[in-house]
Chain A
Amino acid sequence: MKNPSDMKNSSAVIDEGRRGFMRTAAGVATVTLAPGVLLHTLAHAGSPGQGGGVPRAEPVTDAVRYGMLIDTTRCAEGCTACVSACNRENGLDLQEMPTGADPALWDRQESRWIRKVKVQDNLTGHVSNLPLMCQHCEHPPCVDVCPTGASFKRADGIVMVDRHLCIGCRYCMMACPYKARSFIHANVEEKLTLAPRGKGCVESCNLCVHRRDHGQPSTACADACAAEGHHAILFGDLKDPASPLSQALAKLPSRQLRENLALNTGVRYSGV
């Protein structure tokens, strides 16, 4: 990956310029550089569409690793609150079936960042319900196979697609053992400011990365599950021993799905 700081001359100029500016928490600041030259800065904290919270100013580091614990014993059969919340949060529900499309095809191809899955132990007959999304693998096969560097793991453990680089080859979809990724087949007329998405790229759960970058505590799916009273999804920092997530993981027996693949997933499941 090209490091954003390795920018050529033109951008070095930009960086120089940036140092000259005072940052303000909110509102409009006007800085006089030279007589007759006025620059204004629209600060983004709390401004429309930035999701509330304080926007991140420093690059993410590996001091945190985000992950989730899903308690399948709490996940209710028939409930899809997490799926709907994810669709709403990321604007997936704004995309409608293209006119004249085959409904069966659309059903198979529609973007899904979370799937509600039911697994049964055929010997005992025990049934578990669980939401399945990108597992945010420490060693992600999707990143290994990506020919362009579009699939990448952020320093904080979030695996995502840089849509500026994705060529839509879909190798990553084939490589992912969890069917976590979707390809956008049709033009996207309506999209959210915080979740840009369009035709020709692959996408998947990014642990509500816009919320992470605004210092918010949870994900849309975890919030929705809690609002339904199920509390099956716990989001947090795996590296912080004091986080509710780490404490729950220490208490509850949990496992990785397909642990035989040794991907060290960031999403863990208990009760399966």
Chain B
Amino acid sequence: MANALVTGGRVSLGLAGALLALAVQAGGSPFVTPGSQAAKERSCVEATDFMRRNHMEVIKHQRDATVHGGIRSTKHSLAGCIDCHVARDAQGQVLPVNDEQQFCGACHDFAAVRLNCFDCHATVPAPAPGKAAGSAGQALGGASPGSSLPPGHPQPAAR
């Protein structure tokens, strides 16, 4: 038992080391995409080392609370991850967070994690209410005209 624990500890240390190495390689900042809101923060919504290992559990817990209980106020939210972790290119265009060099994409790509959050979930933050049409302040999350469309993405129909 004690042996198993020690081994487990070594494994996660090894993983964290690998992630750290990757992040240093990919950009100047050790953990986050340069220029993102996250780069200005001292830590994520939970301690960084906790998030590095458990972000998937955090999001999974939250998804049930949100879909079934309608709870949308907590700091654990995928939309929150995206708001904070997206970077912009030189033209100020938001880069989809799952792109290979971006926050979600870079690490999942490196670790060979295949996940499908972004089959359904928007990859860029929704623009501020009022920028998009719609009485509820509904906002585009996938892409939006003139603001956050990454190059190469098709323009959505005029809204």
Interface positions of A (Cβ within 8 A of B):
1-2, 4, 7, 10-11, 14, 17-18, 21, 23, 30, 33, 37-52, 54-60, 88-89, 91, 93-94, 96, 152, 154, 156, 160, 162-164, 187-194, 196-201, 208-214, 216, 220, 223
Q: Would you call B136 and A58 a contact (CB within 8 A)?
A: no
Interface positions of B from 27 to 58, Cβ below 8 Å from A:
37, 41-47, 54, 57-58
Q: Which residue of B lies closest to A214 (CB)?
A: B72
Q: Would you call B70 and A192 a contact (CB within 8 A)?
A: no
List of B residues within 8 angstroms of A91 by Cβ:
140-142
Interface positions of B from 133 to 159, Cβ below 8 Å from A:
133-143, 153-154, 156-157, 159
Per a CB cutoff under 8 Å, which of B54, B58, B70, B141 touches A191?
A: B141
List of B residues within 8 angstroms of A152 by Cβ:
68
In the bound complex, what is the Cα–Cα distance between A4 and B74 (angstroms)? 14
Given A152-B68, A194-B141, A198-B119, CB of A42 within 8 Å of CB of B83: yes
Per a CB cutoff under 8 Å, which of B54, B80, B120 touches A42?
A: B80
Q: Could you tell me the distance in whole angstroms from the C-beta of B126 to the nearest C-beta in chain A?
A: 2
Interface positions of B from 95 to 115, Cβ below 8 Å from A:
none
Is residue B22 within 8 Å, beta carbon to beta carbon, of the partner chain?
A: no
List of A residues within 8 angstroms of B133 by Cβ:
88
How many A-B Cβ pairs are below 8 Å?
Answer: 199
- Which of B61, B120, B134 has most chain A Cβ within 10 Å? B120
Question: How many B residues touch A, CB cutoff 8 Å?
Answer: 58
Interface positions of B (Cβ within 8 A of A):
37, 41-47, 54, 57-58, 61, 63-77, 79-80, 82-84, 116, 119-122, 125-129, 133-143, 153-154, 156-157, 159
Q: Would you call B61 and A38 a contact (CB within 8 A)?
A: no
Q: Would you call A189 and B154 a contact (CB within 8 A)?
A: yes
Given A199-B119, A213-B72, CB of A39 within 8 Å of CB of B141: no
In the bound complex, what is the Cα–Cα distance between A161 and B133 (angstroms)? 26
Q: Could you tell me the distance in whole angstroms from the C-beta of B66 to the nearest C-beta in chain A?
A: 8
Q: Would you call B64 and A4 a contact (CB within 8 A)?
A: yes
Q: Would you call B80 and A58 a contact (CB within 8 A)?
A: no
Q: Would you call B134 and A88 a contact (CB within 8 A)?
A: yes
In the bound complex, what is the Cα–Cα distance between A5 and B133 (angstroms)? 37
Q: Which residue of A lies closest to B37 (CB)?
A: A42
Per a CB cutoff under 8 Å, which of B84, B125, B135, B140 touches A220?
A: B135
